[in-house]
Every structure is written in C-alpha cells, then in structure tokens.
Amino acid sequence: MLYNFMLTISKIISSFLNFSFYKDPVYYSGPNNLEELLKQFDHPVKEKTKEDIIRDYTVKETMAKLEVDMLSMEPSQVFKGQHYFTNNEGISFYDWVPCVIRPEVIYCSYGKN
C-alpha cells in the first residue's frame, strides 16, 4: 500500500517536473531551398507604425546616453598640439601646446564641424 502511494506521488511529481521545467526544445528552421528563400523576398516591406518609430528612437537615445556615460568613465586623452603664429616682422613660429580632451567631447562633437 505504501509502495503504491509512493509510486503515485513520484509519477505526479515527475509529470509536474516534465511539464514545467523540461520542455522539448523548439528548433526553428529557415528556408530549406532557394524557392522558399526567394518567396520570402516577395513579401512587402513592413511599414513602421508609430509605436515602432517611438521605440526605435527611444532605444537610440538610450544607447547614446549609455555611450556618453561609458566614455565619461574613461581617462582624458593627452597629446601635443601645434600652434602656429607670426610676429609683427612676418617671422613664423611654431610652438608645441599640451592638449587634454575628454573622450565624451569627441563623441558628442562628431559630425558637428
């Protein structure tokens, strides 16, 4: 009697575990031949809805903010710049100038010149 009870309990538990945790893997397959692949290109292009446009813009802005935050953690970039000037007599001079720039300044200024 105890054996049957334990067997019933183990079947219930194993069926519960099989149902909730151990599902069969799902394999997605793409086109299997050239005809199926070409059939995919015949479908019309999906038009973006207002929600898609808002989501894409939000993701773009979030990623840009994340990039600026990551770059602000980087150390400053130090290099030598060259300064060129002429005096009143027309003699040209070159001078080395130390330059320090933050990485996020380069990122935020890209394409704005």
Q: Are 99 and 84 in contact (CB under 8 A)?
A: no
Which tokens belong to 66? 């994340």
Q: Within a domain: residue 102?
A: yes
Residues 2-31: tens digit of each pLDDT: 667 767 777 777 666 555 555 566 666 666
Q: Within a domain: residue 53?
A: no
Domain extent for 85:
75-113
Q: Within a domain: residue 30?
A: no
Residues 22-76: tens digit of each pLDDT: 556 666 666 678 887 788 777 787 899 999 999 999 999 999 999 999 988 989 9
- HEC per residue, 42-74: CCCCCCCCHHHHHHHHHHHHHHHHHHHHHHHCC
Total number of domains in the chain: 1
Q: Within a domain: residue 46?
A: no
Please tell me the distance from the alpha carbon of residue 56 to that of residue 52, in angstroms, as a whole number: 6
Q: Within a domain: residue 90?
A: yes
Q: Within a domain: residue 111?
A: yes
Q: Within a domain: residue 13?
A: no
